[in-house]
């Protein structure tokens, strides 16, 4: 679900954004993703230092919310250097997602169900990306490039808020779900 809103529409719209809004070419697009990659690397290092101090709901929801602000910002920017800075910061805040999400899956899912749950999660995520790319393209044709990126960012911010406010995820450490929640599917 997250990939439908958060990443896929930006992935499909960013080349059009670079072409239409920034009036630039493939070199700028590659530089944007390079800034994101460097930011992600630094964000991963930073997460190692800070990550264990926050409940998972705030960590995962905060990552979603802050990442959502990156595409929202694109709607108001026409400078390549500002976009580079946004993607660098976006990489910093996005990096913990790939750390927290699997940790949360392994923490919440009992061993007896883990294979099935991770398989279904992978199926949903695997389908989410192409669906998000398709929807991003369709919405981009209807609304425009900047508007689609803005909508994607707003939906991601909203999803981040929902995750942050989810009381089920409000724990720092647990070895396994409480016994009454472990019933087999």
Range of the domain at 75: 2-169
Whether 94 is in a domain gets the answer yes
Q: Counting every residue, how long is the chain?
A: 185
Residue range 39-69, pLDDT digits in tens: 999 999 988 887 667 777 778 888 999 999 9
Whether 184 is in a domain gets the answer no
Whether 19 is in a domain gets the answer yes
Within 8 A by CB and 6+ apart from 2, the residues are 64, 125, 128, 156, 159
Whether 179 is in a domain gets the answer no
Whether 35 and 87 have beta carbons less than 8 Å apart is answered as yes
Weakest-pLDDT range from 8-12, 26-30, 131-135, 179-183: 179-183
Looking at the predicted structure, is the pLDDT value of residue 144 above 80? yes
CATH at 101:
1.20.1250.20
Model confidence at 179, pLDDT cuts 50, 70, 90, reads very low
Whether 156 is in a domain gets the answer yes
Cα–Cα distances in Å, from 109 out to 95, 112, 174?
A: 23, 8, 11
User: What's the total number of domains in the chain?
Assistant: 1
What number is the average pLDDT over the span 8-13? 76
Exposure of 12 in the CB half-sphere (CA atoms within 13 A): 22
Whether 185 is in a domain gets the answer no
Whether 180 is in a domain gets the answer no
pLDDT of residue 12: 81
- What span, in angstroms and rounded, lies between the C-alpha atoms of 85 and 93? 12
Residue range 154-175, pLDDT digits in tens: 999 998 898 888 777 665 555 5
Residue range 87-142, pLDDT digits in tens: 999 999 999 888 888 877 787 788 888 888 888 888 888 888 888 888 888 888 99
Q: How far apart are the first and last CA of the chain?
A: 21
Whether 183 is in a domain gets the answer no
């Amino acid at each position: 679900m997250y990939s439908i809103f958060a990443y896929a529409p930006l992935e499909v719209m960013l080349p059009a954004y670079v072409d239409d809004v920034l009036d630039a070419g493939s070199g700028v697009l590659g530089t944007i993703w390079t800034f994101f990659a460097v930011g992600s690397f630094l964000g991963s290092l930073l997460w190692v230092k800070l990550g264990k101090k926050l409940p998972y709901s705030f960590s995962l929801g905060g990552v979603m919310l802050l990442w959502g602000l990156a595409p929202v910002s694109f709607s108001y920017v026409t400078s390549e250097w500002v976009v580079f800075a946004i993607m660098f910061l976006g990489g910093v805040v996005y990096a913990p997602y790939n750390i927290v999400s699997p940790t949360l899956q392994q923490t919440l899912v009992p061993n007896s169900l883990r294979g099935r749950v991770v398989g279904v999660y992978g199926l949903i995520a695997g389908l989410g990306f192409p669906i998000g790319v398709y929807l991003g393209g369709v919405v981009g044709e209807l609304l425009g490039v900047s508007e689609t990126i803005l909508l994607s960012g707003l939906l991601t911010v909203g999803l981040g808020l929902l995750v942050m406010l989810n009381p089920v995820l409000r724990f720092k450490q647990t070895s396994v779900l409480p016994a009454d929640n472990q019933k087999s599917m």
